[in-house]
Amino acid sequence: TGPLCVPELLVLQVPARALLEGDTVTLRCRGWRDKSVFWVRFYHGDQEVGRPLDGTELSLSPLQLKHSGHYRC
């Protein structure tokens, strides 16, 4: 199987706990059924928020109220 490039088959993982202002959160983008993913971009609403330097993870720190909302990769 080759690398995954279809956005509908990506999974955005976030911590399953309450987050508070000042915390650090790591967003992780994975392929459905553990397929490989490359060239990941993260979006907050329709705005690109970053391209991870280390592959498929993006850290937001320190969290601020402006970070609230919907994310996708």
pLDDT confidence of 54, banded at 50, 70, 90? low
At 6-17, the pLDDT tens digits run 556 888 888 888
Assigned domain for 12 exists: no
Assigned domain for 34 exists: yes
Domain residues for the domain of 38 are 23-42+52-64
Q: What stretch of H or E contains 11? A: strand 10-13
Assigned domain for 6 exists: no
At 16-51, the pLDDT tens digits run 888 899 999 999 998 888 788 878 889 999 999 977
Given a cut of 60, whether residue 1 has pLDDT beyond it is no
Q: Are 30 and 15 contacting, i.e. CB atoms less than 8 angstroms apart?
A: no
Assigned domain for 27 exists: yes
Counted domains in the chain: 1
Q: Which 3 state secondary structure label does DSSP give 9? A: helix
Q: Are 35 and 9 contacting, i.e. CB atoms less than 8 angstroms apart?
A: yes
Assigned domain for 4 exists: no
